[in-house]
Amino acid sequence: MLQMKLEQRLWRKQKNWNLV
C-alpha cells in the first residue's frame, strides 16, 4: 500500500513534468 502511494506521487510529478 505504501508503494502505491509513492507511485501515485511519482505519477503526479511526472504528469506535471509532461505538462511543462
Listing DSSP states for 1-20 in one string gives -HHHHHHHHHHHHHHHHHH-
9-18 residue pLDDT tens: 888 888 877 7
Which pLDDT score is estimated for 12? 87
The label of the residue with cell 505504501 reads 2
Q: What is the value of pTM for the model shown?
A: 0.26
The four Cα atoms 13, 11, 9, 19 give a dihedral, to 10 degrees, of 30
DSSP state of 7: H
